[in-house]
Amino acid sequence: MTGSRPTIAIVGYGSQGRAHALNLRDSGFDVTVGLRPGGPTEQKARADGFIAKPPAEAVADADLVAVLTPDMVQKQLYADVLAPHMKQGACLLFAHGLNVHFEMIAPRADLDVVLVAPKGPGALVRREYEIGRGVPCIYAVHQDPSGHAEQLALTYAGGLGGARANIIRTTFKEETETDLFGEQAVLCGGASSLVQAGFETLVEAGYQPEIAYYEVLHELKLIVDLFYEGGITRMLEFVSETAQYGDYVSGPRVIDASVKARMKDVLTDIQNGTFTKNWVAEYEAGLPNYNKYKQADFDHPIEQVGRELRAKMVWLNAEADAKAATADPRKEAA
């Protein structure tokens, strides 16, 4: 360990991996990146000025190893690379607790095992750090043989910029189950299904698809931005009284007790491991259903209408060009 700062190996250089590596280096940490030689992100890491080594070499001398690869490759990564090559008494860090919580990975007893999860995408984690702010982080401790695991997690979160915003302690169980539930019931599954159902309802009633797109998808950003800035209270302050009244009387008609009951079913499947078991089986089978579901979303009429309308939104094209100039890889890669 260099002074009070651990030497760090980042395994994976996707959106989160790149942001973590850059922020930690700028915070004064010695950071090495572990990547497959010739892999899609090795060149990018080297262009960013990092020493990129094969993962087994990168983790061998590190005090702390951060696993920032996709969930479904972590079990094999741990078995083949991390367990045999990490030094005695090192710290193993995850940004999502799925593999540890559901016991697909059983870390060596000598390792400190912690979780640090910034509450934002990698591009935001990096951007907020660069302008002197930070994204809130949550952290957890799973194993603490050294007695210093919590301090290591806090040090890492601070290096990301999290201490500039907020750092909250959680558990691997709480982070994993709430993260999966949020994605499935509200943020991804819930929101996209609600938008598709609203679009279909209007189009089937004879309204123009273009008008339906604007009303149920395009304008959703305006509402979500208000949620983000100040919660439901701020949203209600900025929409019309007519919209507020519609919220009060019609919202509970659409999202009623039966929806909450089904949300509880989703949560139960997450808590008892059913979702993870099914997801592992799907991944190991080559993703046949995953690919079918994904293609169905791509083929939904709202996507065709949306592509045509967005092509005429000049400001969106300008934003896309700006993001492309500094884009992170969309997939985490070892």
Q: DSSP readout, 284-298?
A: HTTSHHHHHHHHHHH
Number of Cα atoms under 13 Å in the Cβ half of residue 38: 0
Q: Are residues 13 and 162 in the same domain?
A: yes
User: 242 and 148, same structural domain?
Assistant: no
Query: Which of these is catalytic: 96, 101, 218, 300?
Result: 96
Element housing 53 (H / E): strand 52-53
The last residue of a domain, from among 170, 205, 224:
170
Q: Which domain holds residue 120?
A: 8-170
> Is 134 labelled a binding residue?
no
Instruction: Give the closest residue to 93 by CA, choosing from 37, 34, 50, 42.
Output: 34
Looking at the fold, whether 86 and 233 belong to one and the same domain comes out as no
276 within domain boundaries: yes
Count the domains in the chain: 2
Whether 29 and 134 map to the same domain: the answer is yes
Q: At what angle do helices 15-26 and 122-130 cross, to 10 degrees?
A: 20
In whole angstroms, give the CA distance from residue 139 to residue 93: 10
The residue to which tokens 């070892």 are assigned: 334
**Can you give the pLDDT at residue 4?**
73
First to last CA, the chain: 24
| Domain boundary pick from 170, 203, 219 | 170
Say if 46 falls within a structural domain: yes
Q: Are 123 and 269 contained in the same domain?
A: no
Same domain assignment for residues 64 and 103: yes
Pairing of strands 137-143, 112-118: antiparallel
Residues 97 and 13 in one domain: yes
Do 186 and 63 fall within a single domain?
Answer: no
Does residue 153 sit in the same domain as residue 26? yes
Query: Is position 237 annotated in a ligand binding site?
Result: no
193 marked ligand binding residue: no
What is the CATH classification number for the domain harbouring 124? Answer: 3.40.50.720
At which of 170, 200, 235 does a domain end? 170
Distance, in Å, from the CA atom of 278 to the CA atom of 116, rounded to the nearest integer, reads: 26
Question: Is 20 among the residues known to form the active site?
Answer: no
**In a domain? residue 176:** no
- Residue 2 resides in a domain: no
Q: What is the pTM of this model?
A: 0.91
1 in a domain, yes or no?
no
**What are the pLDDT tens digits along the chain (334 aa)?**
655 789 999 999 999 999 999 999 999 999 999 999 988 899 999 999 999 999 999 999 999 999 999 999 999 999 999 999 999 999 999 999 999 999 999 999 999 999 999 999 999 999 999 999 999 999 999 999 999 999 999 999 999 999 999 999 999 999 999 999 999 999 999 999 999 999 999 999 999 999 999 999 999 999 999 999 999 999 999 999 999 999 999 999 999 999 999 999 999 999 999 999 999 999 999 999 999 999 999 999 999 999 999 999 988 877 666 665 544 433 444 3
CA distance 166 to 190: 27
Distance CA 137, CA 120 (A): 9
pLDDT in the model for residue 39: 81
Is 74 a domain residue? yes
Same domain flag for 205 and 321: yes
* Residue 213 within any structural domain of the chain: yes
Question: Are residue 204 and residue 317 in the same domain, yes or no?
Answer: yes
Residue 284 among known ligand-binding residues: no
41 in a labelled binding site? yes
Same domain, 44 and 130: yes
Annotated ligand binding at 219? The verdict is yes
3-class SS at 66? strand
